[in-house]
Structures are given as structure tokens and as C-alpha cells.
């Protein structure tokens, strides 16, 4: 009998152990509580989540006890109250509930649990506690969030697309309708083939080209290569390059251009110099465009951060037209304009500030704006940079030919047209080098319409032969040619002759240093247009005059200076005076760089002098500075360029004497 009882007890123990094992290893988090919301037991997974060694250790604990202790106590109590409130409601009402419960774990992560809670009853059906089963659904919630974000982004993209189509329908459909309608009319009725109707087609095509260029600029802002590479660069050099480029434009509008560099700005920093250049270029261009007879200021300071990291703070202010408060939030969005295109006749896709925001976003920078309509605007940008003790062997310069054209266009759009003397092009001989006959024909027709005599060849080899056997006033050179390309052809021609050579290409991303190296004086982006052809004719005369004067005694050419600033004599005289005033400091820096054999400092000051002299009537000084700068960059040391630097110093003295003699 005793044996049978022992066997019976052993069987019960086995069953209990078996049930305990099942309970311990059940999937999900299982737990039960008493009426005071204290744990009576749980499975192994729940104990592990609570950071307990054994599931028996949970007995007597409450929700507050198992919430991660590495957070503020008030946060722990808030989470515990939320759990206990649900538990008490289930036990009070006798109604089960299924809810989502967030819980912070010991490692600091927040997990989300889907919990089903039911009341526990005794045989008398009295509620004596609660049973809970919770499943970790954090992964599913993250997927839901990602899906929601994707849907939101898709909705935003659809909205942006709709806004873009609504905004652009006027700017695209109107000129396109003009082109198609006028072309159809002239095809049907030859008598309608008039200058007036052709002008409508021409103007409509220009509008379409402008819109295309703006959209392409926006698309390029997504390309990481457009940001350049992080490198050591000089903030002062970036700002000085922009000052030199924009100063003539500001003077012509009677604007004051003020640059201020705080003492906190290091000599060199490490980061995206191209981004600093581009955002300042765009904001400065906007400031000049919308400010007449006012002041545009650029202020730069450095704010230090952790270790060697900090940020540049660039503030561009103007007292121009300003932006209405109702429009200040949305103008940073793509395709947003202060006034919709169908309500005014101003061109633009509404992408300028969006492009700036995009650049800054990609380098973890920021932009904010303060503006008042009729008073002016202030834009403040921050750009993360690192400190560096290493000064680069060659100080980077980010000014490109495309930037020069952008600045010229900004000015042309905003300034009143100045009266300029007509160009007498009668008999100018031009060599056009273009392998695409469709592209060559309109250029040839434009030049012929300006009374030019045009020879057209399709290869670089033919261009070299033609240039050698003829005296041309200037050469238009396509870059992508069969056989030897335009660069090589220009180099061979310039080695034998001093004929001005202008690049004509569909790609505007070429540095002036690269062009100078092969003897190309200027770059024109296709399509050329009549305005471009006329500019080339004027420029060819100027280039020839500069080259002739470089070998003569004339040091200051006031007429040349006036032509460079669109016929404004006062502005030309002011630029010549500014150059004279800055020469003593420039000379001192050049002599110091020579004494210290400081190549970087020499490149910086000569580059600045090259830029300053290029915008006024000082052709000899400009030529000397350009030659010295090119040799410094090419050789990588001062010794190789010492002769050119000595000649440059002599030329600076000549300019100073000539300036005082002419009493400008």
C-alpha cells in the first residue's frame, strides 16, 4: 500500500514538473498578479526581460520594480502607473483587454508589447487576480512606422509634383504654345515669316531654356560630387574670391558690398569648402538682385564645439525688397515661389533656396531666415567644419567660369541696362570649329548677321591648319571634336599665334585655369545666342588690345575699365582706385611670402591680385598676375616662379606710378 502511495506521489510530482516545464518555456511573456497588482509568478521569458535570475524572484514585485532603473524615477513611475491602471480596470470590470504597452528595458531600449489581460477567478467566480500574455511587437511597429513614413513621403512627393505642375504650366506651356503656334502659322502662310514673329519664337525659346537650366541645377544638387570633397581650405580666400567677383555688379547698382570676418575664424578649416562657396554665392546673388542702392553684407564667424569640431556661421543680409511673412515658411520647399507663376510674369522655378537647403542638409548644416517685406532679409547658415593645423600646399579656389556667368546673369536680370557703344564688326574674320552641322549652322548665321566673315571646319586638325594659314580676329572652338580635341587644338594654335580663342561647349563645368593653360580666353555655353555672339566680338577686341598693351608702356586703360563695367565711368574709376589702395598691402604680403618661402601664402595673394586686376583697366598687371599664378600652381613652389614674381612686383610699382600721374 505504501509502495502504491509513493508511486502515486511520484506520478503527481512528474506531472507537476512537466507542467512547470511547459509553463516556464511557453512563448511570449506570461505572468499573473494578485488584486494589489503584485506578481505571483511568470514564465522564464518574462523573468529574463525583467532582469531576474529566476522566475521565482518576481513574486511580490510590482510593475515599477521591473522597469529599467537607468532612467528618471518620474518616467519609471509614469510607465508603472499606465500598466497598473489597465490591470486594475480589468480586475474591477471583469472584462479582458488587449492593448499595446511600451516599456523601457535595462539596456535603455524601448520595446512595444501587445498585451492581452484577463481576470483570474476562483471556483466561486470571484476575481482574485489577473493573467497577462504579452508579445513583443517592436519589429512590427517599426515596420509600420517605416511604411507610414514611406506613405507620407509618397504623399508629399505627389503634392510637390502637383504644385510643380501647377506652378510650371504657365512658364512652360506659354512659351511652348508661342513656338508651336508661330511656327505653324509661318509654315502655312509664308507672308507671316516676319522678324516680329521670329522674335516671339526666340523669346519663348529663351524662357524654356531658363526653366531647363534651373531644373538641371536642382537635380545636380542631389549628386554628392556636386559638394566637392572635404578638404582643408581658407575661409578668407573663399570670401575674397566672391567679393572680387560681385563687387563690380554691386557698384553698378550703387549697392554697398560689405564683408566682415570675425577674429574667431581660423586661418584654415577642414570641411566642404565648395558648400560654403555655393551657398554664399547664391545668397549674395539674391541679395544683389533684390537690392537697389542699398547694402548687402556678409558676416562670418566660427563657433567652437567638442574637441576639434566646430561650425562656421555665415550671415548674408540686405535691405532690399524682403519677403512677406505669409511666404517665409514655404519658400525653402522645392518649386515654391513667393508669387505663383500664373499670377505674375517673373521667371523662375522656385528652386534657389531649396538648392541651398539641400546642400546644407547633406553636410548636416542649417539655414534660417529673418525677413520683413519692404525692409530686407537676413539669412544665417551654419556649416560644420573641423580645425586643422595643416595648411594645404595649394589653397583651394572654388570660383568657376559657370559662377562668373551666374553672377553676370544675376546682375543682368536686376540692373538697368547701361548704354554701351555699338560694336563695329564689319569684316571681322572668324574661324568656327564645330563638328555638328546642326549646331554650327545657327552660330554661323548669327555671326554672318553681324557682318562677320566665317570659315567653318569640323576637326581639330583642320582648325590648326586654317589658323596657321589665315589671320582670324577670333576662333570659336568646340571642345568635343573628332581626332585631336578642342583643348589640344587650342594649345597648338595659341603656341603659334595670339588669336583670341573662345570655347563653345554644352558643358559649363571647366575651370578658368584649365582654359588659360591651353590659351582659351573665355567659355561660352551652347546655345550661343546673338547676345553671346556680340559679346564674343567685343571680347575679341578687348583680348587683342590687352595683349598688345601688355607689350607697350600703357599701364592703365580707362576705356578698357569702362567697357568692363558696362559703360559706367564712375564705377571704373572707383575700381582702379580700390586696386591702387590695396597694392601696398599686397606687395608687403608678396615680399613676406618670398622671404619665408611660403608657397601657400604666395598663391593666395597672387590669386587675389589676379582677380582684382581682371575687373579694371590694368591689363599689364592682370597679365603678369595671371602668369605668376599659373606658374605657382603648375610648379608647386616659389623658386620656379621667382622671375615672374619679381616682374609682378615691378608691374605693381608701375601701376602705382601711373595711377598717381593720371590723377584718377
- The residue among 15 and 148 whose pLDDT is bigger is 148
Segment 367-406, tens digit of pLDDT: 998 888 888 899 999 999 998 877 776 677 777 655 665 5
Residues 8-25: what's their mean pLDDT?
70
Residue 150 has pLDDT above 90, yes or no: no
How far apart CA 120 and CA 33 sit, in angstroms, is 9
Residue 346 has, within 13 A of its CA and on its CB side, a CA count of 13
Residues with Cβ within 8 Å of 465's Cβ and at least 6 positions away in sequence, in order, are: none
Q: What is the DSSP string of 313-354?
A: EEEEEE-SS---GGGTTGGGSTT--SS-GGGS-----S-HHH
Residues 15-29: what's their mean pLDDT?
80
Structure confidence at residue 322 as a pLDDT band (50, 70, 90): confident
- The residue among 137 and 437 whose pLDDT is bigger is 137
Q: Which fold has domain 555-664?
A: 1.20.120
How far apart CA 185 and CA 179 sit, in angstroms, is 10
Residue 322 has, within 13 A of its CA and on its CB side, a CA count of 11
- What is the pTM (predicted TM-score) of this model? 0.47
The percent of residues in the chain predicted with pLDDT above 70, rounded, is 79
How far apart CA 419 and CA 417 sit, in angstroms, is 7
So where are the chain's domains? 19-136, 154-220, 227-399, 418-549, 555-664
Residues with Cβ within 8 Å of 336's Cβ and at least 6 positions away in sequence, in order, are: 163, 167, 330, 350, 354
Structure confidence at residue 651 as a pLDDT band (50, 70, 90): confident
Structure confidence at residue 9 as a pLDDT band (50, 70, 90): low
**C-alpha cell read off for 409:** 546673369
Closest CA to 564 of 553, 551, 579: 579
Residue 330 has pLDDT above 70, yes or no: no
Which of 118-122, 170-174, 509-513, 588-592 has the largest mean confidence? 118-122
How far apart CA 254 and CA 247 sit, in angstroms, is 10
How far apart CA 97 and CA 113 sit, in angstroms, is 13
Contact between residue 255 and residue 288 where contact means Cβ atoms under 8 Å apart: yes
Name 522's bridge partners.
Answer: 502
CATH fit for domain 418-549, picks 3.40.50.2300, 3.40.50.1970, 1.10.3720.10, 3.30.1330.30: 3.40.50.2300
Q: Which residue has the cell 500500500?
A: 1
Closest CA to 653 of 617, 629, 618: 618
CATH fit for domain 227-399, picks 3.30.300.30, 3.60.21.10, 3.40.605.10, 3.30.565.10: 3.30.565.10
The percent of residues in the chain predicted with pLDDT above 90, rounded, is 21
Where helices occur in 390-458 by DSSP H, the ranges are 401-414, 437-449
Q: Which fold has domain 154-220?
A: Helix Hairpins (1.10.287)
pLDDT of residue 569: 80
How far apart CA 229 and CA 232 sit, in angstroms, is 10
Tell how strand 474-478 and strand 429-433 pair up. Answer: parallel
* Second CATH level (architecture) for the domain 19-136: 2-Layer Sandwich (3.30)
**C-alpha cell read off for 168:** 510650371
DSSP letter for 266, please: -
Residue 315 has pLDDT above 80, yes or no: yes
Segment 407-462, tens digit of pLDDT: 554 454 444 433 333 444 457 899 999 987 767 887 888 888 788 899 999 999 99
Residues 519-545: what's their mean pLDDT?
81
Residues 473-478: what's their mean pLDDT?
93
Segment 222-278, tens digit of pLDDT: 555 667 788 899 999 899 888 888 887 787 777 888 999 999 999 899 999 988 998
Amino acid at each position: 500500500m505504501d509502495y502504491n502511495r509513493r508511486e502515486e506521489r511520484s506520478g503527481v510530482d512528474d506531472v507537476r514538473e512537466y507542467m512547470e516545464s511547459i509553463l516556464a518555456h511557453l512563448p511570449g511573456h506570461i505572468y499573473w498578479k494578485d488584486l494589489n497588482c503584485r506578481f505571483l509568478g511568470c514564465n522564464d521569458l518574462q523573468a529574463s526581460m525583467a532582469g531576474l535570475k529566476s522566475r521565482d524572484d518576481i513574486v511580490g514585485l510590482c510593475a515599477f520594480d521591473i522597469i529599467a532603473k537607468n532612467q528618471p524615477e518620474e518616467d519609471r513611475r509614469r510607465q508603472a502607473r499606465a500598466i497598473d491602471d489597465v490591470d486594475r480596470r480589468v480586475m474591477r470590470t471583469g472584462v479582458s483587454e488587449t492593448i499595446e504597452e511600451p516599456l523601457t528595458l535595462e539596456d535603455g531600449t524601448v520595446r512595444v508589447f501587445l498585451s492581452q489581460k484577463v481576470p483570474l477567478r476562483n471556483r466561486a467566480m470571484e476575481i482574485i487576480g489577473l493573467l497577462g500574455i504579452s508579445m513583443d511587437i517592436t519589429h512590427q511597429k517599426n515596420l509600420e512606422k517605416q511604411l507610414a513614413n514611406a506613405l507620407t513621403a509618397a504623399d508629399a512627393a505627389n503634392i510637390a509634383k502637383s504644385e510643380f505642375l501647377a506652378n510650371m504650366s504657365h512658364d512652360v506651356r506659354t512659351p511652348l504654345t508661342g513656338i508651336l503656334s508661330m511656327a505653324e502659322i509661318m509654315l502655312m502662310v509664308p507672308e507671316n515669316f516676319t522678324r516680329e514673329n521670329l522674335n516671339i519664337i526666340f523669346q519663348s525659346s529663351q524662357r524654356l531654356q531658363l526653366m531647363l537650366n534651373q531644373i538641371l541645377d536642382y537635380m545636380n544638387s542631389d549628386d554628392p560630387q556636386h559638394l566637392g570633397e572635404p578638404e582643408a581650405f581658407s575661409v578668407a580666400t573663399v570670401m575674397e574670391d566672391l567679393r572680387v567677383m560681385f563687387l563690380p555688379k554691386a557698384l553698378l547698382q550703387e549697392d554697398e558690398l560689405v564683408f566682415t570676418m570675425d577674429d574667431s575664424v581660423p586661418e584654415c578649416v577642414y570641411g566642404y569648402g565648395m558648400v560654403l562657396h555655393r551657398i554664399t554665392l547664391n545668397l549674395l546673388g539674391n541679395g544683389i538682385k533684390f537690392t537697389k542702392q542699398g547694402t548687402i553684407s556678409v558676416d562670418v564667424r566660427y563657433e567652437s564645439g567638442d574637441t576639434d569640431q566646430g561650425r562656421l556661421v555665415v550671415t548674408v543680409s540686405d535691405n532690399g525688397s524682403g519677403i512677406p511673412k505669409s511666404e517665409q515658411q514655404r519658400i525653402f520647399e522645392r518649386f515654391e515661389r513667393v508669387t505663383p507663376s500664373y499670377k505674375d510674369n517673373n521667371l523662375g522655378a522656385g528652386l534657389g533656396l531649396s538648392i541651398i537647403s539641400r546642400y546644407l542638409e547633406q553636410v548636416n548644416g542649417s539655414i534660417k531666415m529673418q525677413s520683413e517685406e519692404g525692409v530686407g532679409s537676413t539669412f544665417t547658415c551654419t556649416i560644420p567644419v573641423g580645425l586643422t593645423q595643416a595648411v594645404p600646399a595649394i589653397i583651394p579656389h572654388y570660383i568657376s567660369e559657370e559662377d562668373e556667368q551666374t553672377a553676370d546673369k544675376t546682375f543682368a536680370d536686376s540692373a538697368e541696362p547701361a548704354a554701351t557703344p555699338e560694336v563695329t564688326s564689319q569684316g571681322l574674320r572668324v574661324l568656327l570649329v564645330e563638328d555638328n552641322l546642326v549646331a554650327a549652322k545657327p552660330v554661323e548665321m548669327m555671326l554672318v548677321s553681324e557682318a562677320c566673315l566665317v570659315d567653318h571646319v569640323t576637326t581639330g586638325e583642320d582648325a590648326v591648319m586654317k589658323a596657321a594659314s589665315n589671320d582670324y580676329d577670333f576662333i570659336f572652338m568646340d571642345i568635343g571634336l573628332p581626332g585631336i580635341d578642342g583643348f589640344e587644338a587650342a594649345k597648338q594654335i595659341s603656341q603659334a599665334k595670339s588669336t583670341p580663342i573662345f570655347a563653345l561647349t554644352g558643358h559649363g563645368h571647366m575651370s578658368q585655369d584649365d582654359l588659360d593653360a591651353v590659351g582659351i580666353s573665355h567659355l561660352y555655353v551652347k546655345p550661343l545666342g546673338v547676345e553671346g555672339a556680340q559679346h564674343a566680338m567685343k571680347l575679341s577686341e578687348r583680348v587683342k588690345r590687352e595683349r598688345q598693351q601688355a607689350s607697350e608702356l600703357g599701364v592703365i586703360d580707362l576705356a578698357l575699365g569702362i567697357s568692363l563695367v558696362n559703360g559706367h565711368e564712375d564705377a571704373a574709376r572707383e575700381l582702379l582706385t580700390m586696386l591702387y589702395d590695396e597694392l601696398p598691402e599686397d606687395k608687403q604680403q608678396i615680399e613676406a611670402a618670398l622671404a619665408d618661402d611660403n608657397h601657400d601664402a604666395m598663391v593666395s595673394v597672387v590669386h587675389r591680385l589676379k582677380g582684382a586686376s581682371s575687373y579694371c583697366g590694368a591689363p599689364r598687371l592682370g597679365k603678369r598676375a595671371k602668369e605668376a599664378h599659373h606658374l605657382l600652381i603648375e610648379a608647386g613652389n616659389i623658386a620656379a616662379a621667382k622671375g615672374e614674381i619679381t616682374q609682378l612686383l615691378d608691374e605693381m610699382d608701375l601701376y602705382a606710378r601711373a595711377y598717381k600721374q593720371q590723377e584718377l
